[in-house]
Structure 1
Amino acid sequence: MIPLYQSLQGDNAPKTPHKDCHLGLWYTRFFNRYNAQWTLKDTAKQEWVSSLANKRCGDATTLEQQTLRLLRLVNALEGQIAVCKTTWHFATGLGLPHPVENGLAWHPTLGVPFLAGSAMKGLLRAWVEVWDDSLSDEERLQRRRTWFGMVKGEEGDEQDQAGKLIFFDVIPIEPVGLTADIMTPHYGKWYEQGHEIKGHDMATLLQHPERLPADWHEPVPVPFLAVKHAQFLVAVAARDAKKKELANAALESMIAALHWIGAGAKTAAGYGHFVRNETAENDLRQKQQQKEEEKKNAAKKAAKKTQILAELSSDLERELHKDLFNAPNQSIAEANATEWLDKMEKRKADEAQEIAGMLKTFYTDIDKWKGGSKKQKEKVKRVKKVLGL
Structure 2
Amino acid sequence: MNRKRMKRNNSKKNNNKMNNDEKISLKLPRDTRQLLNDNIENIGLKLNKYIKFVEKKGKEEVQKRTNNGMFRLSSAQRKLLDQITIRNRKMIIELQQAGYEIKTALFKPLWRMTIGLGIPSVRETSMLFHHIYGIPYIPASMIKGVVRNFIITEKFRGGDRKAEEAALQDEGFCDIFGCPKNSVYKESRQGKIVFFDAFPIDPVNIEWDIMNVHYQKYYNGNEYPADSQNPNPVFFLTIKDTQFYFVIGIKGENEEIKSGVFAGEKILDLTFDYFKKTLKNYGLGAKTAVGYGFMKEENLENFL
Tell me, yes or no, whether TM beats 0.5.
yes
- Deviation, 1:70, is 1.9
Per the alignment, residue 170 of structure 2 pairs with 141
1:27 aligned onto 2:47: yes
Correspondence for 2:162:
none
1:243 partner letter: N
Q: 1:101 aligns with which of 98, 110, 124?
A: 124
Could you say which residue in structure 1 is the equivalent of 2:4?
A: none
* Conservation of the 8 A alpha-carbon contact between 1:74 and 1:236: no
Counterpart in 2 of 1:243? Answer: 254
More strand by share: 2
Q: 1:163 to 1:95 in 2, by over 3 A?
A: same
Give % identity: 25
Hey, what's the Cα distance between the residues in 2 that align with 1:277 and 1:140? 35
Indicate how the Cα distance of structure 1 residues 241 and 219 shifts in structure 2: closer, same or farther if over 3 A, else same: farther
State how far apart, in whole Å, the 2-side matches of 1:145 and 1:218 are.
Answer: 51
What's the counterpart of residue 17 of structure 2?
none
Q: Report SS of the residue matched to 1:232.
A: strand
Could you tell me how far apart the structure 1 residues matched to 2:73 and 2:81 are? 13
In the aligned structure 1, how far is the partner of 2:44 from the partner of 2:155?
Answer: 35
Distance 1:26 1:250 in 2: 37
How many angstroms does 1:6 deviate by?
Answer: 2.9
SS at the partner of 1:33?
A: strand
Is the 1:258–1:275 contact (alpha carbons within 8 Å) kept by the matching residues of 2?
yes
Counterparts of 2:242 and 2:105, CA distance in 1: 14
- What RMSD in Å do the two structures reach over aligned CA positions? 3.2
Report what 1:117 is aligned to.
140
Q: Deviations over 1:199-251 (max 9, x none)?
A: xxxxxxxxx544x7x5666432111121122100111111x332174222212
Q: Work out the CA distance in 1 between the residues paired with 2:43 and 2:203.
A: 12
Residue identity matched to 2:197: D
Distance 2:268 2:50 in 1: 41
> Do the aligned partners of 1:49 and 1:223 also contact (CA within 8 Å) in 2?
no
* Pairing 1:252–2:273 present: yes
Structure 1 residue 143 displacement after superposition: 3.2
Partner of 1:219: 231
Select the residue among 184, 193, 208 that pairs with 1:165: 193
Q: Which amino acid aligns with 2:81?
A: L
Question: Please, which runs of 5 or more residues in structure 1 have no aligned partner?
Answer: 194-207, 286-389
CA distance in 2 between counterparts of 1:125 and 1:254 reads 9
Q: Is the 8 A contact 1:79 1:241 kept in 2?
A: no
CA contact (8 A) 2:167 2:173 kept: no
Task: Give 2:186's aligned amino acid.
Answer: E
CA–CA distance in 1 between the matches of 2:241 and 2:60?
33
The alpha carbon displacement at 1:185 in A equals: 3.1
5+ long unaligned stretches in structure 2 = 1-25, 158-165, 256-265
Residue 72 of structure 1: how far off its partner (Å): 3.0
Separation of aligned partners in 2, 1:68 and 1:120 = 22
Q: Distance in 2 between matches of 1:231 and 1:173?
A: 5
| 1:146-175, Cα deviation, whole Å (9 max, x unpaired) | 111111126x66211111111100111223
Residue 22 of structure 1 and its aligned partner are, at CA, apart by: 0.9
Residue of 208, 226, 230 corresponding to 2:242: 230
Worse-superposed segment, 64-73 or 259-268: 64-73
Cα distance in 2 for residues equivalent to 1:132 and 1:52: 44
CA distance in 1, matches of 2:192, 2:149: 17
The one-letter code sitting in structure 1 at the alignment partner of 2:31 is S
Deviations 1:314-351 (A, max 9, x none): xxxxxxxxxxxxxxxxxxxxxxxxxxxxxxxxxxxxxx
Deviations 1:237-289 (A, max 9, x none): 11x332174222212211110111110111112111111112xx11333xxxx
Q: Radius of gyration: which is bigger?
A: 1
Shift in alpha-carbon separation, 1:49–1:250, aligned structure 2, 3 A: farther
Instruction: Give the match's secondary structure for 1:70.
Output: helix
Q: 3-state DSSP class of the match of 2:60?
A: coil
Name the SS of the counterpart of 1:221 in structure 2: strand
Q: Output the CA distance in 2 between the equivalents of 1:189 and 1:119.
A: 35
d(CA) in 1 for partners of 2:198 and 2:235? 25
Aligned length: 254
> Judging changes above 3 Å, is the alpha-carbon distance between structure 1 residues 236 and 8 closer, same or farther for their aligned structure 2 residues?
same
Q: 2:64 corresponds to which letter in structure 1?
A: K
Instruction: Go from structure 1 to structure 2 and tell me whether the alpha carbon gap of 1:49 and 1:247 turns closer, same or farther (over 3 Å shift).
Output: farther
Q: Take 1:98 and 1:183, find their aligned partners in 2: how far apart are those partners?
A: 17
Which residue is equivalent to 1:183? 211
Q: Report the AA paired with residue 52 of structure 1.
A: M
Letter in 1 for 2:47: Y
- Give the drift of 1:129: 0.5
Q: Is the 8 A contact 1:89 1:226 kept in 2?
A: yes
- Residue 250 and residue 103 in structure 1: after superposition, are their counterparts in 2 closer, same or farther (change >3 A)? same
Opposite residue 5 of structure 1, the aligned amino acid is P
Aligned to 1:153: 182
Counterpart residue number, 1:62:
80
d(CA) in 2 for partners of 1:33, 1:173: 33
Deviation at 1:119, TM superposition (A): 0.1
